Structure 1
Amino acid sequence: MERLTGFDALPVNAEAGAMNIHITSLLVVDPRRAGPGFDAERLYDLLVQRLPLNPLIRLRLVHKPFRIGQPVFVDDPDFDVRKHLYRLAVPAPGEPAQVAALIDDIHRHRLGHDKPLWEAWVVDGLAGGRLAVVFKFSHTLADGVGAVNRLLPTVLSPDPDHDPELPEPVAPAPLPGTGVLLADWIAEAAGNVVGAARVVGRGTPQLGRMVARRLIDMAGAPLRPRPGDDADPRLRAAPADTPLNRPITERRNSAYADVSLDRLRDIAAAYGGTVNDVFVAACTSALRQWLLVHHTVPDAPLQVFVPISTRSSADDDAFNDWSLALVRLPVFLEDPVERMQVIHGAINRVKSDRGPSGPAVDVADLFQFVPPSLLTLAANTYVREEVAPLRPPFFHACFSNIPGPQEPLWLGGARLEGIYPFAPLFEDMNLNLTAVSYDGRFGLGVVGCPDNVPDVWEITRAWEAGIDELDRLRPQ
């Protein structure tokens, strides 16, 4: 039995209304290297054999009575991989549009807590004879980097002729009873007293400044200039109110694309930035183009939620290990080169604010002290229609860039061709653009709420056009 931290449990404690906090990943597989016998049935059988060998796959969430403390993970004594694994066929012609429509329906539905927090589908009928695996898992089970480091190696190998070596699972214990859970709550409460004292002693001054500034950011108030801050003063205005921060519904709309990672590196080097700078700049161009067509480009910034991994190494076995950063986007600037320069400065500012060792107290630390029942109540209150007029535009989108393996990976001799992630939406955030780099490609997954952003393929094409524009204008 392993007790979750408040931050790890946040995705299940804060799910409310149309907010389903899970990640869906599309893995496209080319079976030609494996020979004519490799079909959807063979792929399904391989997953049946391999998935149960990963301990994460068998973890089941158990809530304490009345949710008075953080839930625990246990090895599910009733685990059956076939209760999680399904088969589908994508309609002809099996192009990305048909695959994305299938993902729309998979991604919209919430995972139940009565079994381990994941599901997977083997998908047949993709164009060119390809197969796919669509894997959906709760953000409580892993963040993006954790999924790459701890879930992918279950079934994928860098050697086409040999499967990954994993230990056989041991027999699980029975589910913990009420007495065991209450005893764990007492230990948790005692630990929280000590933890709270440590937080207060370690970071009270810094915490006060950080929380005040974060509340100002999230409440949409103008930012005060700081020494050396010579960016466009419009970036300090309150975030704009646009259709991108309307309340979401239960529906989802998905799209995906990929570009050469070397190309992004070359563009980044020409501007003196990073691949992530280019990614965010292209995302900003896409949002600007969408506003030009569907609304109006505001004379104020958009604000995006950018998760930053804080894992110390690839062996970090935390379920979630990241911190939150808010970045204001200069969508009002017409010149893409100027936008790129401002974004590079904004991201560097986020990094400098964190410092080499991060803040003394991170916002994530504070979730440890919030009772799950209170957090669930707050989330359900927040998403109520009556509260909508009172909510400021916290953030308009989420941009996330996840480094993945750069060598080709194989599943039973079939080559993994691409990885495309589809991440959550939040109550007033209608777009999520998340990317994973793999084997020289940069795979983008876009998720939107179609009731506010009707066509996310439009966003995807505008993102690709933003990269083309930066490439064409880059300094020689």
Structure 2
Amino acid sequence: MPSTAGEPGDPQRLVHKPLRIGQPLFVNDPDFDVRRHLHRVGVPSPGGPRQVAEQLDQIHRHRLSHDKPLWEAWILEGLADGRLAVAVKFSHTLSDGVGAVTRILPTILSTDPARDVDYPPSGPPPELPGRADLLVDVVKETAGNVAGAVKVVSSGTRALVRGAAGLLWTTATAPLRRPVGPMPSYWQRRLQNAPVRTGLNSPITERRNTAYVSVPLAELKELGTGFGASVNDVFLAAALSAMRDWLQRHDTLPDGPLQAFVPISTRDVDDEVPNSWSLALVRLPVFVDDPVTRLELITAATNRVKTGRAGRGPSVDFADVIQLVPPRLLGAAASAYVSKQLNGLRPPLFHAACSNVPGPREELWLDGARLEGIYPMGPLFADMNLNLTAISYAGRFGLGVTACPDNVPDAWEVTDGWLAGLAELRAEGSAAR
């Protein structure tokens, strides 16, 4: 993954080095034309959430071209009550979820209803680097990778590599032997079973379908307080309820756990780098019937992750690690991993990605219009067909679901299942009182 340079408003595009050796570069685009990035499209009547999502599906499925800056924005017109929606699509090379909140949102929106949009100053068009410049950069990158490797290793990458290799080997050959946390031994043994392949792990295509919903953030906080859990634990428990419901409808409920890919920001306070994250693999007890027990097991698992991270010191930044891997090698490894020949021979690494991003607490405005909600739509990769990403904003908790419709035909089933999971916990909490 190439590193970004400059300010968030700089129009930068990718340039590949000769023979695609090493990482591509981000350079200022001399041919930048904002009209190539801005689009308007109408939403079919009656302009409700499902019609908006159908339009988002079309926007989401097309890859961004490398011959221009890796972002675009779509104005969706014709929503109910005369509203507009703005869909901002950008590559993960530009930013992760937290970076989008700290770097991208402030360039578009403001807490001041009267503030005009700040356009970056224009200057003389830059020149693209020549072949000789790119060859020189290959040498610099090689030297930089050595320094980067020292940085990453000093942050604990040797332990990370040993742990990752051990995880891959253990997942492929035997149950995990590490306890998940303090919990009854019966559940602990079940969670140690290797994740099994489900309908959520069929090879993905380029098609996407999306759904979104929001609830008061106070509701998740109240549920968390009542059960001794965090907002994130409640989010994960409801996500597990949605996946459990989907598997019961469309597939077989597995006897072992699901495994969630949970990205975690590794930023320091006031750190506004675009990409800085590590990951946790959280075992989800999909085989448990009782929703409160599922929440308790998730809380125990996430507490173990937090305790382990605190004891290990500084977290390893995966953006730094990926920088050290040649793109062609990374692509070849990914292609081999998802190949049909290996599809039935290996267990899945992930069943879903689940991410909860803290967002702005104050209301935001764009040219005098109040932003009513934010709904993030995360990426899919390999054979992981489901992404549930949430962001809190101005007292609301917005969930965006991305799925591959060739394997998960209706993303709205997932949002409905998530809401039903919250309702289950709410009913259990009321009964306990």
Give the TM-score category using the shorter length: over 0.9
CA deviations on 1:312-369 (whole Å, 9 max, x unpaired) are: 13x4232211111111100111110000000011111111221267456555543333
**What is the correspondence of 1:313-328 to structure 2 with a 5 Å cutoff?**
313=269, 315-328=270-283
Matched residue, 1:78: 31
Matched residue, 2:65: 112
**What is the correspondence of 1:24-39 to structure 2 with a 5 Å cutoff?**
none
What is the Cα deviation at residue 208 of structure 1?
5.3
**What is the correspondence of 1:351-370 to structure 2 with a 5 Å cutoff?**
351-355=306-310, 358-359=313-314, 361=316, 364-370=319-325
Secondary structure at the counterpart of residue 423 of structure 2: helix
Matched residue, 2:44: 91
Determine if contact 2:266/2:316 at 8 Å carries over to the other structure. Answer: no
Instruction: Give distance in 1, aligned partners of 2:157 and 2:370.
Output: 51
- Partner amino acid, structure 2, of 1:331: V
Secondary structure at the counterpart of residue 255 of structure 2: coil
Secondary structure at the counterpart of residue 189 of structure 1: helix
Q: Report the CA distance shift for 1:444/1:349 in structure 2 as closer, same or farther (over 3 A).
A: same
Instruction: Give distance in 2, aligned partners of 1:103 and 1:77.
Output: 30
Match of 2:92 among 134, 139, 145: 139
Secondary structure at the counterpart of residue 260 of structure 2: strand
- Partner amino acid, structure 1, of 2:121: E
Determine if contact 2:202/2:383 at 8 Å carries over to the other structure. Answer: yes
Matched residue, 1:423: 378
Instruction: Give distance in 2, aligned partners of 1:194 and 1:312.
Output: 21
Q: Report the CA distance shift for 1:160/1:291 in structure 2 as closer, same or farther (over 3 A).
A: same
Match of 2:390 among 425, 435, 445: 435
Secondary structure at the counterpart of residue 421 of structure 1: coil
Matched residue, 1:4: 2
Kindly report the root-mean-square deviation, in angstroms, between the aligned alpha carbons of the 2 structures. 2.4
**1:278 equivalenced with 2:276 (yes/no):** no
The number of residues matched between the two structures is 428
Secondary structure at the counterpart of residue 311 of structure 1: coil
Match of 2:219 among 247, 259, 263: 263
Q: Report the CA distance shift for 1:321/1:299 in structure 2 as closer, same or farther (over 3 A).
A: same
Q: Report the CA distance shift for 1:360/1:224 in structure 2 as closer, same or farther (over 3 A).
A: same
Instruction: Give distance in 2, aligned partners of 1:207 and 1:134.
Output: 36
Instruction: Give distance in 1, aligned partners of 2:9 and 2:115.
Output: 22
Q: Report the CA distance shift for 1:316/1:197 in structure 2 as closer, same or farther (over 3 A).
A: closer
Instruction: Give distance in 2, aligned partners of 1:257 and 1:451.
Output: 22
Unaligned runs of 5+ in 2: none
What is the Cα deviation at residue 228 of structure 1?
6.0
Matched residue, 2:303: 348
What is the Cα deviation at residue 167 of structure 1?
5.1
- Partner amino acid, structure 1, of 2:58: D
Secondary structure at the counterpart of residue 278 of structure 1: helix
What is the Cα deviation at residue 304 of structure 1?
0.8
Match of 1:171 among 118, 121, 124: 124
**What is the correspondence of 1:180-259 to structure 2 with a 5 Å cutoff?**
180-197=133-150, 199=152, 203=156, 206-207=159-160, 209-216=162-169, 218-219=171-172, 221-226=174-179, 229-231=182-184, 232=187, 233-259=189-215
Matched residue, 2:418: 463
Matched residue, 1:450: 405
Determine if contact 1:66/1:373 at 8 Å carries over to the other structure. Answer: no
What is the Cα deviation at residue 375 of structure 1?
1.6
- Partner amino acid, structure 2, of 1:123: L
Higher relative contact order (CA 8 A, sep 6+): 1
- Partner amino acid, structure 1, of 2:190: R
Instruction: Give distance in 2, aligned partners of 1:114 and 1:81.
Output: 13
Instruction: Give distance in 1, aligned partners of 2:228 and 2:48.
Output: 37
Instruction: Give distance in 2, aligned partners of 1:228 and 1:450.
Output: 36
Determine if contact 1:216/1:222 at 8 Å carries over to the other structure. Answer: no
What is the Cα deviation at residue 168 of structure 1?
2.2
Matched residue, 1:338: 293
Instruction: Give distance in 1, aligned partners of 2:77 and 2:155.
Output: 54
Matched residue, 1:38: none
Determine if contact 1:220/1:393 at 8 Å carries over to the other structure. Answer: no
Matched residue, 1:15: none
Q: Report the CA distance shift for 1:337/1:385 in structure 2 as closer, same or farther (over 3 A).
A: same
Determine if contact 1:111/1:138 at 8 Å carries over to the other structure. Answer: yes
CA deviations on 1:151-201 (whole Å, 9 max, x unpaired) are: 111121101112365652443420111111111111111122344355557
- Partner amino acid, structure 2, of 1:441: R
- Partner amino acid, structure 2, of 1:190: A
Determine if contact 2:38/2:72 at 8 Å carries over to the other structure. Answer: yes
Quick one: percent identity of the two aligned structures? 59
Match of 1:126 among 73, 79, 88: 79
- Partner amino acid, structure 1, of 2:97: G
**1:69 equivalenced with 2:22 (yes/no):** yes
Determine if contact 1:253/1:447 at 8 Å carries over to the other structure. Answer: yes
What is the Cα deviation at residue 393 of structure 1?
0.9
Instruction: Give distance in 2, aligned partners of 1:336 and 1:135.
Output: 35
Q: Report the CA distance shift for 1:57/1:128 in structure 2 as closer, same or farther (over 3 A).
A: farther
What is the Cα deviation at residue 391 of structure 1?
3.8
**1:291 equivalenced with 2:244 (yes/no):** no
Q: Report the CA distance shift for 1:162/1:146 in structure 2 as closer, same or farther (over 3 A).
A: same
Normalising by structure 2, what TM-score? 0.92
What is the Cα deviation at residue 274 of structure 1?
0.9
Match of 2:347 among 384, 392, 399: 392
Q: Report the CA distance shift for 1:167/1:251 in structure 2 as closer, same or farther (over 3 A).
A: closer
CA deviations on 1:110-146 (whole Å, 9 max, x unpaired) are: 1110000011111110011110111110000111111
Q: Report the CA distance shift for 1:125/1:159 in structure 2 as closer, same or farther (over 3 A).
A: same
- Partner amino acid, structure 1, of 2:394: D
Range moving further from structure 2, 350-359 or 115-124: 350-359
Determine if contact 2:205/2:406 at 8 Å carries over to the other structure. Answer: yes
Secondary structure at the counterpart of residue 419 of structure 1: coil
Range moving further from structure 2, 343-352 or 158-167: 158-167
Determine if contact 2:148/2:320 at 8 Å carries over to the other structure. Answer: no
Instruction: Give distance in 1, aligned partners of 2:355 and 2:181.
Output: 27
